[in-house]
C-alpha cells in the first residue's frame, strides 16, 4: 500500500501529494503525516518552497466521515488537536507553501489550503465548508478565511456550507490563479 502522503524534494521544492483515492479524505494517519512532514521540512535548510496537491480528481474533500462517526470525546479532541498542529505546521513553514488545488477542496482540506501562502486551482476546483450543514462548525483554522475574502464572504462560506467554484474564488481573492 502506498503512503497517504508522498513528499518528494526536487531542486529545493518539496512536492507533497495527498494520496487517499478517490477523494483524498483526511484521517488520523494522513493528518499526522502532514504534521510530521512539514515539521521535518521546516528543519531542512535545503527546502526553499513546498507544493501541496492531491492525487486524482480531488485536492481533499475533507475529513473521512467514517472516522468521525467512530470517535468518542477524547478521540475527537485528539483528532482536532492533531489537525490544528498539522495545519499550523503548514501555515508556519519557514518557506512559501503553494496549494495546487486540482478538484474538490472542502472542510478541513479547505482549511489546509487556507494555511498555504498561495493557492492556485484548476478550473473545476470547488471550495467550501460543508460540515456546517450537519451541525459541525469549522473550528480548526477558519480564522484564516476573513483576511482573504472579507468578513461578509467568509460568513457566507462558514454559515451556509455552500461551495464556490474556481472563478468565484479567484474574484473573491481566495485563490491567486486559475
The catalytic residues are 111, 131
In terms of Cβ atoms closer than 10 Å to its own Cβ (0-12, 13-18, 19+), residue 15 is middle
Q: Give the CA diameter of the chain.
A: 44
Integer angstrom CA distances of residue 144 from 24, 108, 147, 157, 168: 22, 12, 6, 12, 18
Question: Rg of the Cα trace of the chain?
Answer: 15
Q: With b meaning 16 or more CB within 10 Å and e meaning fewer, what string describes 122-153?
A: eeebbbbbbbbeeeeebebbbebbeeebeeeb
Grid cell 483528532 in the structure block, residue: 79
Amino acid at each position: 500500500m502506498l503512503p497517504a502522503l508522498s513528499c518528494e524534494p526536487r531542486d529545493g521544492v518539496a512536492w507533497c501529494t495527498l494520496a487517499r483515492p478517490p477523494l483524498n479524505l483526511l484521517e488520523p494517519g494522513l493528518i499526522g503525516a502532514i504534521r510530521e512532514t512539514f515539521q521535518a521540512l521546516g528543519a531542512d535548510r535545503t527546502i526553499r518552497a513546498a507544493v501541496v496537491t492531491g492525487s486524482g480528481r480531488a485536492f481533499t474533500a475533507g475529513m473521512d466521515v467514517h472516522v468521525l462517526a467512530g470517535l468518542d470525546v477524547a478521540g475527537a479532541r485528539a483528532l482536532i488537536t492533531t489537525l490544528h498542529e498539522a495545519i499550523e505546521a503548514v501555515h508556519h513553514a519557514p518557506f512559501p507553501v503553494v496549494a495546487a488545488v486540482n478538484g474538490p477542496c472542502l472542510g478541513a482540506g479547505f482549511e489546509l489550503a487556507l494555511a498555504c501562502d498561495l493557492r492556485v486551482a484548476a478550473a473545476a476546483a470547488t471550495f467550501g465548508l460543508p460540515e456546517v450543514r450537519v451541525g459541525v462548525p469549522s473550528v480548526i483554522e477558519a480564522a484564516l478565511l476573513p483576511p482573504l475574502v472579507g468578513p461578509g464572504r467568509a460568513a457566507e462560506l462558514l454559515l451556509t456550507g455552500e461551495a464556490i467554484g474556481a472563478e468565484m474564488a479567484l474574484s473573491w481573492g481566495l485563490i491567486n490563479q486559475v
